[in-house]
Amino acid sequence: MSRAIVTIKSTADRNLVSRWASNVQPGTTVEFRAPRRSNEANALMWSLLGQISKQVDWYGQKLTSEDWKDVLTASLRRTRVVPGIDAGTFVPLGMRTSQMTKEEISDLLELIYAFGAERGVKFRELELVS
């Protein structure tokens, strides 16, 4: 077996993983991860970011939803920034949200709501991202 992914939903799934573990070659890597964010949480995140992008000026400029995701994720994760290859550029490290756990996305959503509230953002129910 070169690669396999199993979502543990039952005792049978646990038993399958146990059988595989007892038969793999030495040096095989096994990774266990907490459940990832849901599609609903992802949709809510993008809706909220879109609303912030329409209502908040950031140092005299409007940022896109993607920009706000980077700004808020950097705050949540206390992201490090390193100089880029080109002079005058900087690169934030660890910005991905696609691998966030349910707990991490929940923390990010709380931060988005708090940030928006501090800046007078009027959040509406889930807005479809266009």
Model confidence at 129: pLDDT above 60: no
State which residues form the domain around 3: 1-32
Prediction pTM value: 0.66
Same domain, 47 and 17: no
Same domain, 60 and 104: yes
Cα gap 46→69, rounded to integer Å: 8
Q: State residue 127's pLDDT score.
A: 60
**What digits encode the pLDDT tens for the residues 62-82?**
999 999 999 999 999 888 889
Residues 48, 126, 9, 2, CA torsion sign: negative
Domain contains 127: no
How distant is the alpha carbon of residue 46 from its chain centre? 11
Same domain, 27 and 47: no
Same domain, 46 and 108: yes
Query: Given 3-state DSSP classes, what are the helix, strand and coil percentages for the chain, each rounded to the nearest 5?
Result: 45, 10, 45
Same domain, 26 and 43: no
**What digits encode the pLDDT tens for the residues 115-128?**
999 999 999 876 65
Domain contains 125: no
Same domain, 53 and 27: no
Residues 2, 33, 77, 121, CA torsion sign: positive
Same domain, 6 and 49: no
Model confidence at 1: pLDDT above 70: no
